[in-house]
Each structure stands twice: as structure tokens, then as C-alpha cells.
Amino acid sequence: MISFKPVILAGGSGTRLWPLSRTQRPKQFLKLIDEKNSLFQQTLIRLNGLEMASPQIICNEEHRFLVNQQTKEIGYENATILLEPFGRNTAPAIAVAALDALKKGEDPLLLVLAADHFIADTPSFHNAIANAIHLAEKDYLVTFGIKPTSPHTGYGYIKRGVELNGSHFIESFKEKPSYETACSYVNSGDYYWNSGMFMFRASVFINELRKYAPDILQNCSHAVNNSEVDESFLRIDRNSFSRNPSLSVDYAVMEHTSIGVVVSMDAGWSDVGSWSALWQLGEKNESGNCSDSDVISIDCKNNFVKTDSTLVATIGVEDLVVVCTKDAVLITQKNKDQDVKLVVDQLKSQDREEFRQYPLNYRRWGSHERLDRGSRFQVNRITINKDSVISKQFHKHRAEHWVVVSGKAEVILDEVLKIYEANESIYIPPGCVHTIRNIGDYPLEIIEIQSGDYLGEDDIIRIDTGAKL
């Protein structure tokens, strides 16, 4: 018997882990702890073995291809993917999930999870879910409180109230405290870290939303009723959704409701909110260094060093975070890593692409990675998935030269079709209408060299206007 429906909130921007995390490739889609699976994938895998319906995933439109690919990689072919036109925090996101379920004639228990958390102890996590199910079935709004292991000042806190069947009513929510206040919370034994995870029946949540945030309910109802199906995605109506305030579910509902309950969870939880948090979670050597394989450290202690692009060497340094990507390097003391957001703010104010983009970007048909660029050239690695095709297009200002690295390609140049395989090349002059399809059994790998006086993305003129990026 199905006992609940997971709702995975995957719409965060994850800028606290810049430069690896960007707005177009936030931390939930990165393999930060597990070399095989991203935090988002781990969130889904952690549910294996439980009786549940197919997950419902809520993400930003620009992350839809990442979500689609990563769900399929781990076998979640039937997940429903709801696309937010832009982020409006957790209250509107959860509202559209609940309303979509009710619109389908269902009224499930919803298990709401963030896509970017880490949980070390899966059995304890499952036990907490079982405790929450009993309460949610009795029409309580349940949140999961994490037993604090330290006076952490970066988390919100929940004060527990009257006992209820081994759990507790919520007495109050507390903002991120000072260190002294956090110590008093932990020493009292009456406080939990606020995990941002919930369980409740869809209709019960909607009823409470109607009481305490009726504007959000009205806007989200219109947004769901006017949503459109786009292949495997459900696009939430932009105009209706835009009227929502940016409000967390805590502020909108949980701080006001009289039926809020907190269930204790002691499962090795972390919100992976900083590079120092990753150092704490990571495997360290005898000197306390946590680093990738392509790092050489000499006379160093307690450093976190991560690279995805080149060899990094450190000598005689302690308590540092060093993160090297293909287009940026971060160096900071571990106790200053919360100030990464100040760097991101500067990048955003200067409209630098390092704020938004990572060199590797995903498309409906595969992926596109920038390898090098200069004043009149750019080199890209293009991967086209099996049976996928790039839209018919041409460029006014640039020429392209493709070299097939592996796979089998069907290429059309100005209505002339030809098959290309590994080690063969294709020249595409400006103005040539072209498209390429993967007709092999494996991903098609191509190196693309662009040359010309203008190489911007807006120099892509698509012929079939219905084609998708």
C-alpha cells in the first residue's frame, strides 16, 4: 500500500558553494559527497525501500534538463517534474505540489524534502518518516527537528512544546541565533535544528494555507489550473505564479498553525551549506586535509582542496578552502567561507557570467561544454544523446567546424544529408542551414570550433520555431 508521495524541492540557486555551484548549475546537482550521485540523486535514492508513490520534483525552468537527466540516470522514469518560472521560496512551491495532487483527484500524504541536504544514517531517516506518517495521518502538519550536535549559528531552531505520542507540538520557531543563544538552546535540550523537511496531507496543508496565506493559495490555484504539459514537464503558469510573495512555508503557515508537530530526527543531517561543512563531512587524511586526488599537499593541515580542472599544489598552509574550477579559483580561510556570498554579490552586480554559468551546460538533447575561447574563436565539446537532434539553425556571423570524436552522426547542410563517423569533420559556413542527429547506439561526441567576429548565443537563428533548446 502506498503511504506517501515525495515532493522534492530542487529550485535553489546554491551560491554558497561558488565557484563550483552557479545559478545555472546549483549545488543539488553536483557530486559533492558521493562520486557517483549528486545531492539531488542521493535524496531520491535515500527513499528506496519505502512504500511511496512516484516522486514529484519542483525545479526552476532553467534546470529542467539537469533534473530530467539525473532522474533517469537512477531509474526514476515516472517522476513528475513541475517547472517554476522563477523561485518564490518554499510556501508557493509546496502549494503548487499539493494543489496538483488534489487536482488529479488524490489527497496523499506529502513528504517534502530539500534536494540539497545530506543524511548519513538512512535507517534512522526512515524511522523518523514512519513516526511522521502516524501523525500526518491524524491531520497534523509535521516538521522534522534535528537533534543539535553543536551550538550552530547558521541554522534556525524549533522549540518543542507539549508531548504528543513521543513527539511534540511546536512551541515556537527561532531565527539564526548568536553563539551564546545557540549554546543556551542546546544546553536546555528543548530545541532542534530546523531541517526544512515536512510531512502532511495535501488537503490539510491547503486548508491551513487558506487561513494564513490566502493570497498564495489563490495565486497558486490559478497557476496550477493554467499550467501546461510540455513533454515530461508541467509548466506552472508564469503570470499567476509571479504574483506570489517570496515566503517560506515556516513564515506562511508553520509559525501560525495550531496543528504543527515536530518529530525528532538523529540521522547525521547536514544542509551542506558551506565549504567548511563539506570538509567536516569529507574523508580526511592524518593531517586533517580533505582533498581530491589531483592535489599535492606538503606540510599542510586541515585544508579543504577541490579541483575539477587542473592540478593544485599547496605548501605550508592550514585551515584553508581552495576550490579550482575551469574558469575560477576560490581561496579563503575556513572560518570565513560564509563570506563567499559577498563574492557572488560582486559578480552579480558586475553581470559576470561566472555568477550564472558553468562551462558545462545541459540541453534537451545532451550537453555543451566550453573548452577554450579567444577574441575570434571558441572551442566546445558537444554531447548529443542517443536518438536526439539539435534544432535546424544557421548563424549570420560565425562559421563552425565539427570533428566527430565518437559515435555516428546524421548531418544535414542546406538540405544535403550525409553520415559522419569518428575522425571525420564537417565545415559549416555562415548562413548554412544545418542540423545534426545522433543515429548511433551511444552518445555522440563532437568537438566544435567556432570562428568569426561575433560568437554570442543570440547568433543562433532557428528555422523550426517549435524546436526546443
What does the DSSP assignment read for 424-457? Answer: -EEEE-TT--EEEEE-SSS-EEEEEEEEES---G
* Whether the predicted pLDDT of 307 surpasses 50: yes
Asked if 452 and 400 count as a contact pair (C-beta separation under 8 A), the reply is no
Is 356 inside any structural domain?
Answer: no
Q: Mean pLDDT check: name the lowest of 212-216, 358-362, 401-405.
A: 358-362
User: Could you give the C-alpha distances from 451 to 239, 427, 435, 459, in angstroms and in order?
Assistant: 40, 11, 18, 12
Together in a domain, 236 and 145: yes
* Whether the predicted pLDDT of 183 surpasses 90: yes
What pLDDT, on the 0 to 100 scale, is given for residue 50? 95
Is 29 inside any structural domain?
Answer: yes
Name residue 126's amino acid.
H
Query: Which of 131, 243, 265, 252 is closest to 194 using CA atoms?
Result: 265
* Whether the predicted pLDDT of 153 surpasses 70: yes
Query: Which of 104, 109, 106, 102 is closest to 51 using CA atoms?
Result: 109
Cell representation of residue 48:
528506496
What pLDDT, on the 0 to 100 scale, is given for residue 48? 95
Q: Return d(Cα 282, Cα 63) in angstroms, integer.
A: 27
Q: At what angle do helices 90-103 and 214-225 cross, to 10 degrees?
A: 50
Is 139 inside any structural domain?
Answer: yes
Q: In the beta sheet, which residues pair with residue 294?
A: none
What mean pLDDT is predicted for residues 306-332?
A: 95
Together in a domain, 162 and 249: yes
* Whether the predicted pLDDT of 466 surpasses 50: no
Q: Return d(Cα 161, Cα 253) in angstroms, integer.
A: 17
Is 171 inside any structural domain?
Answer: yes
What mean pLDDT is predicted for residues 127-138?
A: 96
Phi/psi at 227 (5° precision):
-75, 160
What pLDDT, on the 0 to 100 scale, is given for residue 231? 75
Q: In the beta sheet, which residues pair with residue 321?
A: 304, 332
User: Could you give the C-alpha distances from 292 to 16, 309, 447, in angstroms and in order?
Assistant: 20, 11, 27
Range of the domain at 149: 5-270
* Whether the predicted pLDDT of 52 surpasses 70: yes
- Looking up residue 266, the CATH number of its domain turns out to be 3.90.550.10
Number of domains in the chain: 3
Final residue before a domain boundary, out of 270, 288, 320 = 270
Is 357 inside any structural domain?
Answer: no
Together in a domain, 285 and 215: no
Is 56 inside any structural domain?
Answer: yes
* Whether the predicted pLDDT of 243 surpasses 50: yes
> Hey, how many other C-beta atoms are within 10 angstroms of the C-beta on 464?
10
What is the residue-wise DSSP string for 211-259? HH-HHHHHHHHHHHHT-EEETTEEEPPHHHHHTS----HIIIIITT-SS
Q: Could you report the per-residue pLDDT of 278-292, keeping only the tens digit for each?
A: 999 999 999 999 998
Final residue before a domain boundary, out of 246, 270, 294 = 270
Name residue 29's amino acid.
F
Query: Which of 335, 448, 342, 349 is closest to 399 using CA atoms?
Result: 448
pTM of the complete model: 0.88
> Hey, how many other C-beta atoms are within 10 angstroms of the C-beta on 442?
11
Is 467 inside any structural domain?
Answer: no
* Whether the predicted pLDDT of 1 surpasses 60: no
What mean pLDDT is predicted for residues 206-225?
A: 97
Mean pLDDT for the chain overall = 93
Is 398 inside any structural domain?
Answer: yes
What pLDDT, on the 0 to 100 scale, is given for residue 464? 66
Final residue before a domain boundary, out of 270, 302, 334 = 270
Place of cell 540539497: 116
Together in a domain, 266 and 296: no
Together in a domain, 298 and 412: no
What percentage of the chain has pLDDT greater than the value 90? 84
User: Could you give the C-alpha distances from 363 to 36, 69, 269, 459, in angstroms and in order?
Assistant: 21, 10, 32, 17
Together in a domain, 300 and 189: no
Name residue 120's amino acid.
A
